[in-house]
Structure 1
């Protein structure tokens, strides 16, 4: 599994899509492999707070990575 430092570096290769005070999302336009399952993922969603509400518009598979300060990284697979 990738370290959080590697995930933060990975974000520089992704396309930013939406950001607010609770979350930020990045689209994987270059087919980078998910650090959890090693399959290409569609979006990375970063939860900035320990308590975050998400509204998912469609059914998808999720892989997650959490770091020590409570940030949650969701890798979505459609």
Structure 2
């Protein structure tokens, strides 16, 4: 991935895991680098509604970016 890739473009390289009216979740099964920190991320969470609530079952670091439409993209990193 080069730095020109947007979060929307990253989705085509990820494995879809969950999709509902509030969010979509994709797993990074190929160790793509996070656009915010350049480390591989575990999951990409695309928030579709404002507000959206997340319940995380484990402690993890988050990097945040926004798409062209202003929706937040959360990149998760397990500790």
Specify if TM > 0.5. yes
- Please tell me whether the aligned partners of residues 7 and 65 of structure 2 are also in contact (alpha carbons under 8 angstroms): no
* Structure 2 unmatched ranges of 5 or more: none
* Structure 1 unmatched ranges of 5 or more: none
Question: What is the total number of aligned residue pairs between the two structures?
Answer: 76
Q: Which moved more, 1:67-76 or 1:6-15?
A: 67-76
- Please tell me whether the aligned partners of residues 25 and 46 of structure 2 are also in contact (alpha carbons under 8 angstroms): yes
Pairwise CA distance, 1:6: 1.8
CA distance in 2 between counterparts of 1:11 and 1:69 reads 15
Instruction: Call closer, same or farther: CA 1:51–1:26 in 2, change over 3 Å.
Output: same
Instruction: Call closer, same or farther: CA 1:69–1:6 in 2, change over 3 Å.
Output: closer
Find runs of 4+ consecutive structure 1 residues off by over 6 angstroms. none
TM-score, normalised to structure 2, is 0.87
CA distance in 1 between counterparts of 2:77 and 2:23 reads 18
What's the C-alpha RMSD, in Å, of the aligned pairs? 1.6
